């Protein structure tokens, strides 16, 4: 029997340090970050129950354990978690330094995978996210294994991945895929960012089994292929303050919708609203759950003719 929780697989969260300016003086913010952490934060904001499955190690890992503010299932490892320092005092996000995450040993990777399976098999929905773009704490094959084994035992698997990780997860047959338009182009699924090319890419991905393929397109309406039908997702216009994190929050909203028994269409509306609200805030994965629910009621799905 499933629990209604969302399990988020985040193999290597990051330690984030951001320098802002407040009344002419530096203001330093230290947080847990990374895709899975931001997704889990939005899931909690929406009133969902979440468990983060991660590997933590080194000084960064010990600090992350204290900073992550929601339930954790942890594999303690020798590998260090990564982190970065960003300077935003001039309004832009300038990277001062980045420390990459260490790779897990084969045994550590296997045990993190087994831990995630044990927790995920009791959950209704599992979100598979990646580490930082250039970090490789676990082999891509882990995503295929988790997708296949969790999905094969009744879990609804949402993947928010790109590159080799996405290709591996598709072999396992996820239920929902969230990806950005530029990732589809860079990964070779789409020839360009034009709508017909993106639609053909959605069909190619759906051929691996997903019921829904959701493509975020920056300032343009999100494209979604849901049970064989294409939609453009029209979200109420809001003023963005940060261009990052909208896709992570969309995946989180989709997952929460599925745990609540929503149809894929309804879950897509919730995810789109969560993603839009995140862009209006400085904290990634943040946003008021009540505001997201009100916005979701105003999200429109416009059917688009298949251009194959």
Confidence of residue 258 (pLDDT cuts 50, 70, 90): very high
Confidence of residue 287 (pLDDT cuts 50, 70, 90): low
Q: What is the pLDDT of residue 286?
A: 46
**Contact criterion met (CB below 8 Å) for 31 and 51:** no
Please write the tens of the pLDDT for every residue from 123-146: 889 999 999 888 999 999 999 999
Token pair for 190: 């789409």
Q: What is the mean pLDDT of residues 209-216?
A: 95
**Contact criterion met (CB below 8 Å) for 218 and 276:** no
Distance between start and end Cα atoms, the chain: 41
How far, in Å, CA of 248 to CA of 244, rounded?
9
Token pair for 15: 């330690």
Write down how long the chain is: 308
Q: What is the mean pLDDT of residues 86-95?
A: 91
List the domains of the chain with CATH numbers.
Answer: 6-304 (3.40.1190.20)
Rounded to two decimals, what is the model's pTM?
0.90
Please write the tens of the pLDDT for every residue from 27-79: 999 999 999 999 999 999 899 999 999 999 999 999 999 999 889 999 999 99
DSSP output for the chain = ---S-EEEE-SS-EEEEEEEEETTEEEEEEEEESHHHHHHHHHHHTT--EEEEEEE-HHHHHHHHHH--S-EEEEE-SSPP-EEEEE-TTSS-EEEEEEPPPPPPHHHHHHHHHHHHHHHTTSSEEEEE---TT--SS-THHHHHHHHHHHHTT-EEEEE--HHHHHHHHHH--SEEEEEHHHHHHTTS-SSSSHHHHHHHHHHHHTTS-SEEEEEETTEEEEEEETTEEEEEE------S-SSSHHHHHHHHHHHHHHTT--HHHHHHHHHHHHHHHTTSSSTT---HHHHHHHHTT-EEEEE----
């Amino acid at each position: 029997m499933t629990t209604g929780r969302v399990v988020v697989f985040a193999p290597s969260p990051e330690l984030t340090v951001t320098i802002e300016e407040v009344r002419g003086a530096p203001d330093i913010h230290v947080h847990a970050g990374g895709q899975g952490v931001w997704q889990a934060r939005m899931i909690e904001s929406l009133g969902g129950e979440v468990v983060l499955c991660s590997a933590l190690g080194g000084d960064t890992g010990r600090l992350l354990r204290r900073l992550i503010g929601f339930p954790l299932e942890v594999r303690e490892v020798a590998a260090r978690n990564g982190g970065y320092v960003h300077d935003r005092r001039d309004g832009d996000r300038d990277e001062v330094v980045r420390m990459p995450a260490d790779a897990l040993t084969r045994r550590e990777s296997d045990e993190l995978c087994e831990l995630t399976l044990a927790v995920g098999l009791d959950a209704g929905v599992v979100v598979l996210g990646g580490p930082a773009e250039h970090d490789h704490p676990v082999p891509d094959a882990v995503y295929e294994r988790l997708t296949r084994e969790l999905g094969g035992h009744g879990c609804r698997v949402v993947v928010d991945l790109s590159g080799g990780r996405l290709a591996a997860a598709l072999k396992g047959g996820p239920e929902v895929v969230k990806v950005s338009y530029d990732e589809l182009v860079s990964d070779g699924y789409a020839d360009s960012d034009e709508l017909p090319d993106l639609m053909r890419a959605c069909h190619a991905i759906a051929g691996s089994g997903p019921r829904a393929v959701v493509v975020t397109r920056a300032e343009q309406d999100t494209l979604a292929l849901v049970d064989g039908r294409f939609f453009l997702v029209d979200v109420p216009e809001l003023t963005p303050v940060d261009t990052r994190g909208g896709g992570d929050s969309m995946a989180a909203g989709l997952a929460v919708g599925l745990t609540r028994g929503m149809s894929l269409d309804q879950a897509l509306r919730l995810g789109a609203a969560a993603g839009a609200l995140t862009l209006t805030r400085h904290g990634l994965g943040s946003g008021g759950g009540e505001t997201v629910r009100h916005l979701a009621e105003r999200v429109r799905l416009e059917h688009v003719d298949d251009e194959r």
